[in-house]
Amino acid sequence: MLFTSESEAPGPLRSLDAAELRWLTAGHSAILGAVVAAVCLAAGFTVFLGFLPRLFLSVSVLVAGTGWVATENLGGILTASTADIGTGPVLILLALAFWPAASARRPVGQQLAAQPPAMAAPQQHGTS
């Protein structure tokens, strides 16, 4: 995909694609894949568990934006040969949709401690 994008992309994106191809053909593709997968898993689990959600939502926006620019060449919108803009903006929009909820969410351990104690049922004094 980078090879076809490289030939169609404008100047700055073409040089970025050429640098990526040189780096990836030197045997770094497994390292890049493992690092991106680890970052995505860490961001997903930490947001789900409520541990520093806004920090990791920002990391996920950064990963989605970097992937959109580096591998998709802005979805090919500058080449006039695209049908859609790719997944980058959609992933960024999804992360931003979680942003307001991130402030209201507490970590799982704190949710139980923050709940008020249940009210005891009034004791009935029976007449016997």
* Model pTM score: 0.62
Q: Is the pLDDT of residue 83 over 90?
A: no
Better pLDDT: 7 or 35: 35
Res. 17: pLDDT tops 50: yes
- DSSP notation for 79-116: TT--SS--SHHHHHHHHHHTHHHHHH---HHHHHHHSP
Mean pLDDT of the chain: 75
- The pLDDT, as a whole number, for residue 63 is 92
Residues 6 or more apart whose CB falls under 8 angstroms from that of 2 comprise 17, 20, 21, 24, 71
| Higher-pLDDT residue of 93, 19 | 93
pLDDT at 124: 66
Tokens of 83: 């049908």
E strands, 1-128, are: none
Distance CA 126, CA 72 (A): 75
Residue holding tokens 């969410």? 105
Report phi then psi at 124, rounded to 5.
Answer: -95, 130
Domain ranges of the chain: 2-106
pLDDT digits (tens, 9 = 90+) for 21-79: 777 766 667 787 888 899 999 999 998 898 898 999 999 999 998 888 877 777 777 76
